[in-house]
Structure formats: C-alpha cells, structure tokens
Amino acid sequence: MNWKLDPGSGVPLYVQLRQQIIQRIVRGNWPAGFQLPTVRQMAVDVRINVNTVSKVYNQVEREGYIVAHQGKGTFVRDETAWQQNAPTRTHQVERFATLVQEMAQAQGVSLEELIGALHRRISS
C-alpha cells in the first residue's frame, strides 16, 4: 500500500496517517468489511512506532469508521454505521481547530500568534 507521510511537513505523523485511513474509507478504496493491516504491519509499512499506529487505530475506531475484533483483526465498518457516527458541524470545527493548533505548535507558533494571524486574516 502506498502511504505518503511527510515527517517534515509540520503535521504530526499520527494526524497524517489518520487522515489517509479515513480518506481511503470515505472514498471507497477500503470498502465495508475490508481488513486493515495489523498494527505491527502498518507500523512497518509507514515506518512509525507501533504505539503511534495503535493510537491512530483507536481514534479511527472511536470515530466509527472501523471496528476491532480481538484475535480476528480490524475491519472497515458498514458505511451506514460510520455515517451515523459522522461528526456534527460543531465537532468538525473543533477537530479542525485542534489540527490547526497541533500544526502551529509543531512549527513553534504560539497560540497567541496563531489567533493574531487569524484575526488579521479575517480583517483583511
């Protein structure tokens, strides 16, 4: 599988992996019932720590896209299941804000600088 994780992008690797997994599900590249690689195999494939992959899988499962069955594997849930769990607009905005904050912190940008830049952008 082709993965495009860029350690130099300023976006945390776990965020990049999460986004790419969800994109594959939403776009239908990974249909309902598709078995994801094991956590260990994914860690090897994307060259990141097993704990990081586990964190991503747990987060994507909480979001309703996948389900893990002990001893059997992790599978893409039926589309109706993950659409029912799709975040509300408020949750989407909160996730976006968290992502922007994480990206800013990774670049050494303070929250105050970020807010100031947003205010200037809105005002112009």
Tens-place pLDDT, residues 77-87: 987 665 666 56
Q: What is the pTM of this model?
A: 0.68
- How far apart CA 17 and CA 42 sit, in angstroms, is 10
Topology of the domain comprising 8-86: Arc Repressor Mutant, subunit A (1.10.10)
CB 114 within 8 A of CB 105: no
- Mean pLDDT for the chain overall: 87
* Integer Cα distance of 59 and 68 in angstroms: 12
What's the pLDDT at 86?
Answer: 59
Q: Which amino acid is at 30?
A: W
Residue recorded with tokens 């670049």: 107
pLDDT digits (tens, 9 = 90+) for 23-49: 898 888 999 999 999 999 999 999 999
